[in-house]
Structure 1
Amino acid sequence: MKGGPEIDELSAKILAIKTDIKEEYRAAHNKPWIIGFSGGKDSTLVLQLVVETLLELPWSERSRRVHVIANDTLVESPIVQTYVESLLSALSTSLPDLSLPIEIHKTTPLVDQTFWVNLIGRGYPPPTRFFRWCTDRMKIRPTTDYIRERITESGEVILLLGVRRSESTARAKSAKRYDGTGRLNPHNDLPGCFVFRPILELTTDEVWEYLFACAPPWAGSHQALMKLYRDATGGECPVVIDTDTQPSCGSNSIRFGCWTCTVVDKDKSFRNAMEKGFERLEPMANFRDWLKDFCYTEENRMTERRNGQAGLGPLKFDARKTVLDRLLALQDEVKVQLISSAEIRRIEEIWRDDASQHVLNRANRLLQLIGEGR
């Protein structure tokens, strides 16, 4: 990169980052690297800098395995998911030709823990800031399961994340805890996992400046990524691996994430994108708004919790059926798969089990009342 003082300053920062990456890769151990990849600007930059740095090494030194993991919650915005799938396909095709020991993997939640199985099957109301059941089941668990498998194989791993200090106040506070502790920090919840944050000190403008100036080494350009951000005027929900980063999902800022996300009042990024050529997806945004209102209407909720205790409980069975029917109608309308046949089968199994348990709970309460002489 060449140019004025600002670009020279960025070049110096990039050189320092690549030096860190190179030194860590050459360290006297063989801990595999895992890059948390969301397809957004920050994780894309981390991947690009790693690839560029490894290409600068002699072929004989490119021995440490690098795993790139992308999480699919199965309810991602179709706009973003189409882009990410295209990018993962390009990476899978191009990276082997570069003679780099890099593997691409995608994690997904177990069928039993998907958004629709929990909402329609178990009757969970849509997530809120106070009941955010989705992130752990759909993001954290699939990713950490993959990391734990690599730890079992290798003893220890190094996780590279596109976390930046200037990203938010919460990020800055989280990063400050590790100031002065070295390049690698132990992960809070994953023994054997060490976290490496190579772009921690870059600003948002610097991230975009580099991506704009430097084409990716896997060919193509970053034009599609830039268009994605321009259309949504926002940022992605990042790879999430612990509760410290969980609040990034469903924040007030414009962001990319699940099209079903009800933690935010209005999904501005999804609606903004619809105004830029994706009008056919508007019924999905309307469904999301309806879903939040419908599921938090008390008449659609049971009067007992799933553990049998009295209180505002899960969705009633007819309400769950209503949601499923409307979701299937929506799927036909927008011509995008929104729920799988495996999920529907699991939902039906849960309905049968829940119905039996519901009858048992009512019988037990009746016996209790009889025993109390009421």
Structure 2
Amino acid sequence: MEPVVSFEQEDGRPVSDRWRDIVRNVKEEYLSETQEYPWIVGFSGGKDSTVVAHAVFEALLAIPPSRRTRPVHIVSNDTMVESPLVMAHLDDVSRLIEGAVDSLELPITVARTKPDLDKTFWVLLIGKGYPSPNSQMRWCTDRLKIQPTSTYIRDNVSKFGAAIVVLGVRRTESIRRMQTINKYENVRGTNLNEHASVTGALIYRPIVELSTDDVWEILGSFPAPWGGSHRKLFQLYRDAEGGECPVVLSKEEAPGCGTKNSRFGCWTCTVVEKDKSLQGFIDSGQHAYKPLVAFRDWLVDIRNDPTRRSAIRRNGRLTFDVTGKHIPGPFTIQARREILERLLQVQEEFGAELISKDEVDLIHKLWAEDLQTEEGLANV
């Protein structure tokens, strides 16, 4: 998406005026005396969350140090299977933000959540044999995104009594996002909505009325307050041909992850028909990503291969749908070995870690447990 150089809204005001209004509103919200709960800024490193983090920074800089009493957490999520280029960008920006926070003495904590070891993509897919995620069985979003971030929010709710989650969601992103936003009314007398699934969490959406063109013009017009510009972000989008998987906090928002409208995300994503972001990187000259694309496509191909799936579920039962069609169980131990062998080959070819040693160790432990279970059933 190319930025628009001189975009104006229908009210005739330049985006620069609307940006000043957003920063002023964020400042006023931060200083609100009706509630002093910590802010948790969902930060994916994409365009929308970057604009929100930018606005929060500008607002804090406009507040006297003595009044910066509300803690702010800029929280990103690492699924451990993110696109390596996207993660590299997120790492770079996070380091810049941390450096600026220290030098400017801002009340900001930069944090990153990860799934628990027993809930990572590879442990569930290869260790327990979960079939590759698809639109009907998107088990990945809950384990890799929702649970880790929700846990971080709940920890702050428990500590302070409540927490405010600041998100870069916009009404014009999609029909589904518009419906979700319209569904919830503001808590009386505030700019906040109650969180759909985390009790005690409130949602603040400072850029909800911005268009995509607004976002790009703001990023192109105002330098990053933590230093440098947003130029690398522009290039990332150009190379990847598109958007990012948003910060997902509930199953209601999960469909936004793994759709044609959100193309940054996990390089292993088998929910999408084609990984446009990785293919975009390859088309722009990043040929090292070819093995990753080929491996991801292979995972899609083998998902419903009956020779690679167990007849029974992990609970030991045969399962059928309403039509009487058999629903296969997990990948067999043999198929899981095959997947791990291929993954380790791709990792060696790619030259960077795709699966951790701790994950491999746990996978082997889970295989041993499954083999013992199978032997026990065979002797019954």
Corresponding residue for residue 114 of structure 1: 120
Corresponding residue for residue 17 of structure 2: 12
Q: Does 1:184 align with 2:192?
A: yes
**Contact between 1:108 and 1:138, CA under 8 Å: does it hold in 2?**
yes
Corresponding residue for residue 323 of structure 2: none
Query: Which 5+ residue runs of structure 1 have no aligned equivalent?
Result: 365-374
Deviation, 1:179, is 4.7
Q: Does 1:58 align with 2:64?
A: yes
CA separation in 1, counterparts of 2:27 and 2:349? 50
Corresponding residue for residue 310 of structure 1: 318
Pick one of 7, 13, 30 that aligns with 2:36.
30
Letter in 2 for 1:248: G
CA separation in 2, counterparts of 1:129 and 1:109? 21
TM-score (norm 1): 0.94
Corresponding residue for residue 142 of structure 1: 148
CA separation in 2, counterparts of 1:303 and 1:27? 58
Q: Does 1:133 align with 2:149?
A: no
Corresponding residue for residue 164 of structure 2: 158
Pick one of 331, 351, 356 that aligns with 2:367.
351
**Contact between 1:254 and 1:268, CA under 8 Å: does it hold in 2?**
no
Letter in 2 for 1:322: E
Letter in 2 for 1:336: A
Deviation, 1:352, is 1.1
Corresponding residue for residue 95 of structure 1: 101
**Contact between 1:233 and 1:254, CA under 8 Å: does it hold in 2?**
no
Percent identical across equivalent pairs? 44
Paired residues in the alignment total 363
User: What per-residue deviation string (whole Å, max 9, x for no partner) do you get for residues 7-28 of structure 1?
Assistant: 8332332233223212211112
Letter in 2 for 1:36: G
Deviation, 1:3, is 7.4
1:192-271 superposed matches below 5 A: 192-253=200-261, 255-271=263-279
CA separation in 2, counterparts of 1:157 and 1:220? 31
Secondary structure at the counterpart of residue 13 of structure 2: helix
Letter in 2 for 1:76: E
Deviation, 1:361, is 3.2
Letter in 2 for 1:17: I
Runs of 4+ in 1 over 3 A off after TM superposition: 2-9, 179-182, 361-364
CA separation in 2, counterparts of 1:107 and 1:224? 24
| Structure with the larger helix share | 1
CA separation in 2, counterparts of 1:63 and 1:180? 24
CA separation in 2, counterparts of 1:320 and 1:119? 8
Query: Which 5+ residue runs of structure 2 have no aligned equivalent?
Result: 320-327
Deviation, 1:91, is 1.0
Give the 3 Å change call, closer, same or farther, for CA 248–303 of structure 1 in structure 2: same
CA separation in 2, counterparts of 1:159 and 1:250? 22
Letter in 1 for 2:96: A
Q: CA RMSD in A?
A: 1.6
**Contact between 1:254 and 1:269, CA under 8 Å: does it hold in 2?**
no
